[in-house]
Amino acid sequence: MKIITKETLPISTRQSILYKGPSGSRKTPNAFSWPKPIIAAYFDVNRKNVDQMIRAGDDIQLMIPESWAEFDREFVTPVYHRKFEAQTIIVDTIDFAAAMLMREIQGAKQKMVMQDWGKLLTDLTNVCNKLVSSTGQHGDLPAYNVVFCSHEGDVTDDGGNLLKTTPKIPGSFKYDIESFFDTVLICEAQLASKVVEGKITRSKEFICHSIPTSKYQTAKGTNLPPLVDGMYDSLRKEWDYGILRK
């Protein structure tokens, strides 16, 4: 049995954060703007933004898992044991990773059975526990910032009425994942109108915020501004919180 006392309590020296939002809301640019070097498990087939960062010389290493077992063995376990020389660890996106796991668990079966859903929940919980735990000190081993990205999905009742918007993760883990992180931020894109030389121009504006947009949406954080520009450089200037002050 592990016993935690004042003397053995791990000190969290880094941050854990979940960016969630629809496609095109700049979750990935926000995540990959965290302190480098970055080691990332990347599950999205679209690598345009990240490839541009790597070509520009950013200290980023992408790992593209081909199976859940490979993800667990080659990424999660080394992070848990602090084997990587990095400042930030990224999973982009966790919902694509969960979909991979679900396909492997279901296999050739027509549908998932109760035990399958239990394994899905257990495996996702274990991965989040291991990765987020690496934000804390562990002897002389390094600590990491841990950043996840996730698309969003709607939860509706039998009549199609919206009940809640959650990370787009199969099974019940979509209700649990936010509790693992220090901060959850919502990334959104919206059209903005401006008057320039007497003419109205419209452009896409990216925002990143912690204040829920409605009773169906959730986010959390400490000492966060109600609304900030959707890129990390602006967050770093305006967000007086932990690692982001450095």
Digit-by-digit pLDDT tens for the chain (246 residues) are 767 776 666 566 688 899 999 888 888 988 888 889 999 999 988 888 888 889 999 899 999 999 999 999 999 999 999 999 999 999 999 999 999 999 999 998 999 899 999 999 999 999 999 999 999 877 778 899 999 999 998 888 888 888 888 899 999 999 999 989 988 888 887 776 677 777 777 777 777 777 777 788 888 766 565 444 445 554 544 444 433 333
State the DSSP string of 59-109.
Answer: -EEEE--SSHHHHIIIIIHHHHTT-S--SEEEEE-HHHHHHHHHHHHHTTS
Task: Give the list of residues 6+ apart from residue 141 with CB closer than 8 angstroms, or none.
Answer: 81, 82
Report the predicted TM-score, pTM, of the whole model to 2 decimal places: 0.83
Q: Which two tokens stand for residue 184?
A: 């959850």
Instruction: Assess contact for 154 and 145: CB atoms under 8 A.
Output: no
Q: Please, what is the end-to-end C-alpha distance for the chain in angstroms? A: 37
Residue 221, SS3 per DSSP? coil
Q: Which CATH architecture has domain 16-187?
A: 3-Layer(aba) Sandwich (3.40)
Residue 34: burial class (beta carbons within 10 Å; 0-12, 13-18, 19+): buried
**Count of C-beta atoms within a 10 Å radius of residue 194:** 10
Residues 77/175/45/92 CA torsion (nearest 10 deg)? -50
